[in-house]
């Protein structure tokens, strides 16, 4: 369905060709797990229990990826889109000051994650991200791309219409570049329902909703509205919805599955592997 477009020929030539994969069917994904830490042989072997794993590919060799995939497990590679982690010096070392987002002359810093908000409207930064996808996802033969922190656009820019429009336009240009360079490679967006509705729905195959906890959602009118809107987007675009709970595993899973979502329960965080 996707093909290399003329607008991406120079980018494709630079990357070494148009990479086409056979897309996997999310209808065949019934279990998944997220893991961002360095793997062990035991963890890699245990990944065979899941239909899908989402990993930080920096910590993996192509051989390890092939071992995971040889058991039929699909693998998505984590790409941080709207934040630059200070620990990732190789990435930050490529960035100029204009690749960060500024408000009132100051960069926006997230103390919890030790990261800075990026400016996706920067064409240079988009090229950095494409190179990261090539290096960490395509060259290592992963099955797809997991775009994290896209929800920052909703969280940070919704009350600033000019900034919002600029960031959404930059995100769309980025998603178009992915589509042109890597036709057939599935893309999953993490959070940002407003951004999904306004811009990214035509370009992604999956969407992740973290914090999908039964009581939090059913007792909050905004969350219930988001659930209705998510169902509408899913119906219109055929997007797979992956949910994550950290409380009330049984009722949260039941609610997710009742809505046709693929659920995962993680009571701690994504840096530990529970056998």
Q: Is the dihedral of CA 215, 208, 172, 204 positive or negative?
A: negative
pLDDT at residue number 5: 36
Write out the two tokens for 202: 């035509």
β-bridge mates for residue 188, sequence order: 146, 206
CA angle 211/113/98 to nearest 5° reads 115
Give the pLDDT of residue 20: 46
In this structure, the number of other CB atoms found within 10 A of the CB of residue 93 comes to 7
Beta strands in the chain (DSSP E): 32-35, 52-55, 74-80, 83-85, 102-103, 106-107, 109-110, 115-117, 144-148, 187-190, 206-209, 240-245, 262-265
CA torsion, ordered 54, 190, 250, 72, to nearest 10 deg: -30
* pTM for this model (two decimals): 0.91
Residues 6+ apart with CB under 8 A from 126: 120, 170, 173, 174, 177
- Checking if the pLDDT of 7 tops 60, the result is no
Q: How far apart are CA 202 and CA 1, in angstroms?
A: 13
pLDDT digits (tens, 9 = 90+) for 58-69: 999 999 999 999
Lowest mean pLDDT among 10-19, 143-152, 207-216: 10-19
Could you report the per-residue pLDDT of 187-199, keeping only the tens digit for each?
999 999 999 999 9
Taking the CA atoms of 44, 45, 47 and 53 in sequence, report the sign of the dihedral they define: positive
* pLDDT tens readout for residues 131-141: 999 999 999 99
Q: Per-residue confidence at 1, pLDDT binned at 50, 70, 90?
A: very low
Q: Are 69 and 96 in contact (CB under 8 A)?
A: no
């Amino acid at each position: 369905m996707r093909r290399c477009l003329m607008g991406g020929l120079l980018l494709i030539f630079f990357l070494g060709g148009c990479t086409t994969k056979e897309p996997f069917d999310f209808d065949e994904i019934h279990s998944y797990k997220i893991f961002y830490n360095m793997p062990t042989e035991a963890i890699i072997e245990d990944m065979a229990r899941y239909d899908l794993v989402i990993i930080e590919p920096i910590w993996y060799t192509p051989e390890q990826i092939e071992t995971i995939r040889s058991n039929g497990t699909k693998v998505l590679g984590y790409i941080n889109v709207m934040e630059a982690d200070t620990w990732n010096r190789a990435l930050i070392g490529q960035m100029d000051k204009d690749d960060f987002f500024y408000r009132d002359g100051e960069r926006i810093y997230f103390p919890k994650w030790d990261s800075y908000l990026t400016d996706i409207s920067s064409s240079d930064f988009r090229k950095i991200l494409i190179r990261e996808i090539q290096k960490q996802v395509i060259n290592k033969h992963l099955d797809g791309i997991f775009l994290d922190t896209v929800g920052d656009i909703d969280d940070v820019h919704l009350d600033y219409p000019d900034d919002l429009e600029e960031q959404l336009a930059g995100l769309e240009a980025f998603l178009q570049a992915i589509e042109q360079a890597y036709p057939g490679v599935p893309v999953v967006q993490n959070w940002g329902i407003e951004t999904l509705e306004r811009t990214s729905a035509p370009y992604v195959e999956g969407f992740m909703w973290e914090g999908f906890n039964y009581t939090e959602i059913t007792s909050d009118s905004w969350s219930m509205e988001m659930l209705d809107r998510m169902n509408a987007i899913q119906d219109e675009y055929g997007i797979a919805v992956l949910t994550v709970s950290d409380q009330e595993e049984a009722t949260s899973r039941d609610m997710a599955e009742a809505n046709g979502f693929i659920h995962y329960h993680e009571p701690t965080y994504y840096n530990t592997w529970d056998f």
